[in-house]
Amino acid sequence: DSGVTQTPKHLITATGQRVTLRCSPRSGDLSVYWYQQSLDQGLQFLIQYYNGEERAKGNILERFSAQQFPDLHSELNLSSLELGDSALYFCASSGAPGQGPLHFGNGTRLTVT
């Protein structure tokens, strides 16, 4: 058990809808990362937060947004969903911002129909 909790585990929704994925980092970790894993794109870095502040941005679409709250949990918001957004979304955490994501959650599988 990595200590990183992601909810929900599965999400099925229709095109055009909006969903929110939630992540609770491992206890004591201040840095949260979001990744998208799909068959055609592999594992893609989306965004990193450290103690509530955005620290790095990757291939995150404008339709997607994220935030980290004062209690350090993070949410990834996906809007105007398209079929191609179907993927496994991972959250990861670490203590220091420069260490990289050390602990991954089990992911949220999003299916857009």
Partner 1 sequence: AQSVTQPDIHITVSEGASLELRCNYSYGATPYLFWYVQSPGQGLQLLLKYFSGDTLVQGIKGFEAEFKRSQSSFNLRKPSVHWSDAAEYFCAVVFNTGTASKLTFGTGTRLQVTL
- Rounded CA-CA distance 79/18 in Å is 4
Q: Smallest gap, in angstroms, from Cβ of residue 23 to partner 1? A: 11
- Rounded CA-CA distance 3/27 in Å is 7
Site residues for partner 1, window 15-74 (CB under 8 A)? Answer: 31, 33, 42-43, 45, 48, 50, 55-56, 58
Name which of 20 and 30 has its Cβ closer to partner 1: 30
- Rounded CA-CA distance 108/7 in Å is 7
- Residues found near partner 1 in the complex (CB under 8 A): 2, 4, 31, 33, 42-43, 45, 48, 50, 55-56, 58, 90, 92, 94, 97-107
